[in-house]
Amino acid sequence: MDKVNVIPEHSPTINTRPEGEAVLPPEGLLQRSSRIKKIQFTAMALLFLAAVVNYLDRSSLSVANMTIRHDLGLSATEIGALLSVFSLAYGIAQLPCGPLLDRKGPRIMLGLGMFFWSLFQAMSGLVHSFAQFVLVRVGMGIGEAPMNPCGVKVINDWFNIKERGRPMGFFNAASTIGVAISPPILAAMMLLIGWRGMFITIGLFGIIIAIGWYLLYRNREQLSLTPVEQAYLNAGSVNARREPLSFAEWRGLFRNRTMWGMMLGFSGINYTAWLYLAWLPGYLQTTYNMDLKSTGLMAAIPFLFGAAGMLVNGYVTDALVKRGVAPLKSRKICIIAGMLLSASFTFLVAQATSSMNAVLLIGMALFCIHFAGTSCWGLIHVAVASRMTASVGSIQNFASFICASFAPIVTGWVVDTTHSFHLALTICSCVTVLGAAAYVLLVRQPISDVSK
């Protein structure tokens, strides 16, 4: 590496070598420009809104579960199937989403995705049969596919590798804040305008946010950055190359040991998260005979715990890195500890003797699983070449949602068969432990070259 000279932060111009090459400050002295700070703030504010809307939409069927079952004459297994077809469509759509995102960028991919998922969400208020509901749920799943990979890519594009923990925690926390505020907000909307009006209203709100994203956000490739800005963004990355993956390289990801560890491990995260997202309101209503209003208030509490876990994770991982812990190792420590603790709390939920005890145990399970899940996404930032982040993120999400799609329907079948959630919670604990084992055994090296 060439020796570089330090230039004052306030210098209005960049000195150059005689041959015209820019002289950049050492990595430790690289600073964010005011323009980069503005871009980061705008991107994170828009991602926050998009994530909140995304999880309002995902929570809507869970909150309206019992009412829709009554109005349309559906069983718990059929509601579970509606929740599962969404996650299955979402998971399958991840595979083309990654390569498209690497080529087209987050601006158009998230803008179009949000527009179409919101459109299908609004159409959910017009359905009159199980078959119609299946179709709109599939459409929603496909539309939502770019959400998380886009968030990962935006943070990867606009934040230095040593500063990505907190924005990743903030982005993930936004999704769980959306889940947390959903039960009381959606329950109130249902009481005022019915479940059909609720679906239509939040769908229209999502369309407005989609238009705002497209108008305000710009991909990194669309802006002309100075050498100092480029150096700040690229410093310390696994690989700073920007060209998209070839198909051969994308296919090569499926032969990578670390990629399989991330796919299998994150499946344990998402199975747990999706079980609670899909069935928490129904669990409280079925097990503790709560009415809609009480369920809306009580169901918000565990998801606030989950949001806290995401926020805490961002600070913990950044602090570990500053103390000298390798970025990959810091994420693995948080992932494995969080998953094992979450599995323990989920197992104890079935032993709860009151609704408040159950809510607190579920809250701790969600705190730990979302603490771990935030590091799973953060692992992509520190263990994957920049040009691969969207593809790796989408493949990881694909595998995890194929697994997670079983959680709602398995739980619905267990409830119909045993009239209890005990077995479903035990299955969830076991899946989470197996996911933790995948991170221990398979995730050892960064993914930097898949050409071979």
Domain layout of the chain by residue ranges: 36-442
pLDDT score, position 237: 57
More confident residue, 371 or 402: 371
* 362 has pLDDT over 70: yes
* 17 has pLDDT over 60: no
Residue 6: which pLDDT band, with cuts at 50, 70 and 90?
very low
pLDDT score, position 107: 92
* 20 has pLDDT over 60: no
The 10s digit of each residue's pLDDT in 253-310 is 899 999 999 999 999 999 999 888 878 888 888 888 887 777 777 888 898 898 889 8
Helices then strands, counting H and E runs in the chain, come out as: 16, 0
- Coil, helix or strand at residue 242: coil
pLDDT score, position 450: 62
Q: What is the mean pLDDT of residues 12-35?
A: 52
More confident residue, 416 or 172: 416
CATH C-level class of 36-442? mainly alpha
Q: What is the dihedral sign for C-alpha 406, 407, 410, 416? A: negative
Q: How far is Cα 297 from Cα 95, in angstroms, rounded to an integer?
A: 37
Find out whether 66 and 123 touch, Cβ atoms under 8 Å. Answer: no
Query: How deeply is 28 buried, as exposed, middle or buried, from its count of CB atoms within 10 A (0-12, 13-18, 19+)?
Result: exposed
Q: What is the mean pLDDT of residues 80-86?
A: 85
Q: What is the mean pLDDT of residues 79-91?
A: 85
Q: What is the mean pLDDT of residues 125-131?
A: 91
Q: Which neighbouring-strand residues pair with 447? A: 384
pLDDT score, position 94: 82
Map tokens 């040593």 to a residue: 162
Map tokens 């150059």 to a residue: 16
Cβ-Cβ contacts under 8 Å for 70 (sequence gap 6 or more): none
Q: What is the mean pLDDT of residues 195-203?
A: 93
pLDDT score, position 108: 93
pLDDT score, position 139: 94
pLDDT score, position 241: 56
* 14 has pLDDT over 70: no
CA angle 98, 375, 380 (to 5 degrees): 35
More confident residue, 118 or 12: 118
pLDDT score, position 434: 96
pLDDT score, position 244: 67
Neighbour count for residue 61 (Cβ, 10 Å): 25
The 10s digit of each residue's pLDDT in 221-241 is 877 878 878 887 777 655 555
Q: How many CA atoms lie within 13 A of 280 on its CB side?
A: 32
pLDDT score, position 4: 35
Where is mean pLDDT largest: 46-60, 173-187, 199-213?
199-213
Q: What is the mean pLDDT of residues 344-353?
A: 92
Where is mean pLDDT largest: 240-244, 325-329, 365-369?
365-369
pLDDT score, position 77: 83
Mean pLDDT of the chain: 83
The 10s digit of each residue's pLDDT in 30-43 is 567 788 889 889 99
Q: How far is Cα 288 from Cα 246, in angstroms, rounded to an integer?
A: 53
Q: How far is Cα 392 from Cα 396, in angstroms, rounded to an integer?
A: 6
pLDDT score, position 368: 96
Cβ-Cβ contacts under 8 Å for 243 (sequence gap 6 or more): 387
Q: What is the mean pLDDT of residues 51-72?
A: 85
Q: What is the mean pLDDT of residues 340-352?
A: 94
